Amino acid sequence: EVYRLLIPVVLGISVLYIILLSIVYLIYRNINNNNRLYRLQYDFINNLTHEFKTPVSVIKIAGNNIKSAQSVTDEERFMYGRILDQEADKLNNLMNKLLSYAQIENKSIPFKGEWINLHEFCEEIFKACRIKYTDLMLTYSVEVTDELHTDPVLLASVFHNLVDNAYKYSAAGQRIVHVEIQQTKKNFVMIFSDKGIGIAKAELKSVHTFKKD
């Protein structure tokens, strides 16, 4: 008789326990999602702020070169004019990214893809990098035949970050970067090589890889 009376009590306690566990799990999941969203927002703003520095630096260096030059040839004038125009476009694109950030809904940056010529893309990117870092030995090889469908602003952000980090974490006299871009049957392969300190093993877990078809 005692056991018969205890069974409903035990079942009730078990149900209550399961409910409490479910509530704890939901709270934990919400906190975890909020933390992920916060990290995503922080990384996005931090990266975007970092990207503003590159075109601003290039524009400033180009302006100083023009100001300090005794005379400017037509070729140099065209080169600096093109650089300033390109960097102004980059600033405009970055500003548009920042403005569209408020409209991001699915915890991801909007992808605005277009077909780009990697030969022309790399030439523009690395020309700006050479102006910014005059003591950087930067070489590259582009062995592709097709255009790449990508977001040029985001891809440029990746390139600038990798070059900036290679320069920042390499000793003076060892600031060397070589970039190889190859094309396989299904993919484009981009390899950045430098003589920097590399990434600590403890930080490798923070490096995320993904594949997008």
Tokens found for residue 120: 């022309």
Per-residue burial over 87-105, b = 16 or more CB atoms within 10 Å of its CB, e = otherwise: beebbebbeebeeeeeeee
Give the HSE-up count for residue 179: Cα atoms under 13 Å, Cβ half-sphere: 22
Q: pLDDT of the chain along its 213 residues, tens only?
A: 666 667 777 777 788 878 888 888 888 888 877 777 677 667 767 777 777 777 888 888 888 888 888 787 888 888 888 888 888 877 877 776 666 655 554 455 567 789 999 999 999 889 888 888 888 899 999 999 999 999 887 788 788 888 888 888 888 888 999 999 999 988 999 999 998 888 777 777 666 555 544
So what's the pLDDT on residue 146? Answer: 92
So what's the pLDDT on residue 5? Answer: 67
Instruction: Tell me if the pTM is above 0.75.
Output: no
Beta bridge partner(s), residue 189: 182
So what's the pLDDT on residue 182? Answer: 94
Residue type, 1: E
Q: Does residue 140 contact residue 163 with C-beta atoms inside 8 Å?
A: no
Residue type, 105: E
